[in-house]
Amino acid sequence: MKNNSGFTLIELSIVLLIISLITGGIASGRSLIHSSRLVDIIDDATKYQTSVRAFELEYHGLPGDLVNATDYWPGQTTNGNGDGYVGSPNEQEKLNVFQHMALGGVVEGRYQPEEQEQAIVLDGQYRTNPTSAFENRTFIVDTENRLYKFSQNVSVPHRKENTLSYSSIAEGDSLSSVDAHRIDEKLDDGLPGKGKITVGSQNLDCAVSHSYANMQTTTYDLSNRDIACEVFFSLE
């Protein structure tokens, strides 16, 4: 008489339960890692905002824009034009931002200004800008004509603001609408087109409305899970 040695229904149920627990654990682990990275972005943004302000108080100018940087660090960097805006019209200024802050002692690391496309890793950091929680993302201080861009065909005055941009080194977009909303809601008003945290005007896929005219009132498109947002943190 043959003895069948197959699994019983109870044994199969136990195996399936174990598989589901393992799968659920992996998914939960990924979710926790992702959430931790978002917290790191918030912490880094806050830290760099504070660093920019500390630099300005110490040296009476913005990093990158500092008009007498070579007086403090001769032969190590170049001057900005001192107009109060980083990167406009002197694009070299935004490449100098983190070098100036490192030389000024308000951030750690070594930075060598060069075009972002040519940036290489040095001592675990990008030579121009710092690495971030997500691969190939970085922070850079820039001038974003935010209200003007969000208000094309609308009678809102043109106003420049120095911003800390969190973006992909290559493409610009860095986060999904859901992730951008989580950061915005944590630190600001949760709206993509107003407040201290906004998305770039080219990132209309971040928002429910795809109209420039509605950017002051629209909300994040939480159904869009694609990487579609470049996030700006105001320094003013």
Interval 74-100: pLDDT, tens: 999 999 999 988 987 888 998 999 999
- Is 45 domain-assigned? no
- Is 218 domain-assigned? yes
Considering only residues 183 and 25, tell me which one the structure prediction assigns the higher pLDDT: 183
Considering only residues 227 and 159, tell me which one the structure prediction assigns the higher pLDDT: 227
- Is 182 domain-assigned? yes
Backbone angles phi, psi at 184, to 5 degrees: -60, -45
Average pLDDT for 29-52: 89
CA-based nearest residue to 51, from 98, 109, 111, 113: 98
- Give the total residue count for the chain: 236
| Domain total in the chain | 1
Q: What is the Cα 59 distance to its own chain's centre?
A: 25
- Is 183 domain-assigned? yes
Q: Where are the alpha helices (DSSP H) in 60-164?
A: 69-72, 92-103, 146-149
Alpha-carbon distances, residue 211 vs 80, 191, 227 (angstroms): 36, 15, 19
pLDDT at 15 over 80: no
* CB 164, CB 45: distance < 8 Å: yes
Note the pLDDT of residue 155: 43
Q: Where are the alpha helices (DSSP H) in 73-118?
A: 92-103
Q: Which of the four pLDDT bands, split at 50, 70 and 90, describes residue 144? A: low
Torsion over CA: 96, 97, 100, 105 (sign):
negative
Q: The domain containing residue 197 runs over which residues?
A: 145-236
Q: What is the pTM of this model?
A: 0.78
- Is 12 domain-assigned? no
Average pLDDT for 58-82: 95
- Is 230 domain-assigned? yes
Interval 110-131: pLDDT, tens: 888 875 444 555 555 567 888 8
* Candidate from 24-33, 72-81, 92-101, 204-213 with smallest mean pLDDT: 24-33
Which of 9-18, 31-40, 44-53 shows the highest mean pLDDT?
A: 44-53
Note the pLDDT of residue 60: 95
For residues 23 and 157, give the distance between their C-alpha atoms in angstroms, rounded to a whole number.
53
The residue type found at 168 is S
- Is 16 domain-assigned? no
Expressed in angstroms, the distance from the first to the final Cα of the chain is 85
